[in-house]
Amino acid sequence: DAGVTQSPTHLIKTRGQQVTLRCSPISGHKSVSWYQQVLGQGPQFIFQYYEKEERGRGNFPDRFSARQFPNYSSELNVNALLLGDSALYLCASSPPQGATKDNEQFFGPGTRLTVL
Amino acid sequence: RKEVEQDPGPFNVPEGATVAFNCTYSNSASQSFFWYRQDCRKEPKLLMSVYSSGNEDGRFTAQLNRASQYISLLIRDSKLSDSATYLCVVRRDTGRRALTFGSGTRLQVQP
């Protein structure tokens, strides 16, 4: 089975630009979460979506937004990019509660965003 | 104060050594606990869940002390392939099920 996939793998943008990152969860997973990992830190929670509805939001500004599509894939959008947005953006999916390994989040390889 | 605190290391140990990592968490509402492993420039992967009774998976043993809000990971007989960053992770199981990560402890096992 394919794991969580993310695109693109790398991205370079300049300050003020906008970026869209994409994530496809593992087949059968309906929950998708986004995390930001700055160099030297652990991942920090941005958003969680389940069945196309936002279920949680971390402490990030309104420049960050996301959505989930009927096929459970997801997009993360960041507007008005700042230098500090340079990070690895990770997407994770998890099985429905009650399913095998429902306690685990499976991470994709991430998108490495550099803002110049 | 960070919600999950870890010693960043690095811990440099010889092959075959036993090494222990500690972690403290501040939110008493945390209900699930994990250790994740992250290799350089890769995504985090679940190493093991942590239960109150303590649990073991091969060379790895995890312990949880809810009263002290303290989590530990013990690695016995270290292998070169254990070199990685180990992330302590907590989660509330009500409402949003987001993971809260520590900054990680870097382990370097040397030949």
Per-residue pLDDT tens digits for A55-110: 999 999 999 999 999 999 999 999 999 999 999 999 999 888 777 667 788 999 99
pLDDT at A42: 96
Nearest partner of B100 among B21, B1, B3, judged by Cα: B3
Interface of A with B in 9-68 (CB under 8 A): 31, 33, 35, 40-45, 48, 55-56, 58
CB contact under 8 A, B32 and A40: no
- State yes or no: pLDDT of B100 exceeds 90: yes
pLDDT at B1: 79
Residues in A closer than 8 angstroms to B87, CB to CB, are 42-43
Which neighbouring-strand residues pair with B48? B35
Residue reference for tokens 């420039």 = B41
Who has greater pLDDT, B52 or A7?
A7
State the pairing for strand pair B19-25/B70-75. Answer: antiparallel
Tokens (6 digits) for A100: 């095998």
Q: Determine what percent of chain B falls in helix, strand and coil, rounding each to the nearest 5.
A: 5, 55, 45
pLDDT tens, residue by residue, B21-40: 999 999 888 889 999 999 99
Tokens (6 digits) for B53: 């009774």
Q: Which among B32, B98, B103 has CB closest to A103?
A: B32
How sure is the predictor about A33, in pLDDT bands with cuts at 50, 70 and 90? very high
Which neighbouring-strand residues pair with B62? B55, B73
Whole-number mean pLDDT of chain A? 94
Tokens (6 digits) for B79: 């292998």
Residues in A closer than 8 angstroms to B4, CB to CB, are 42
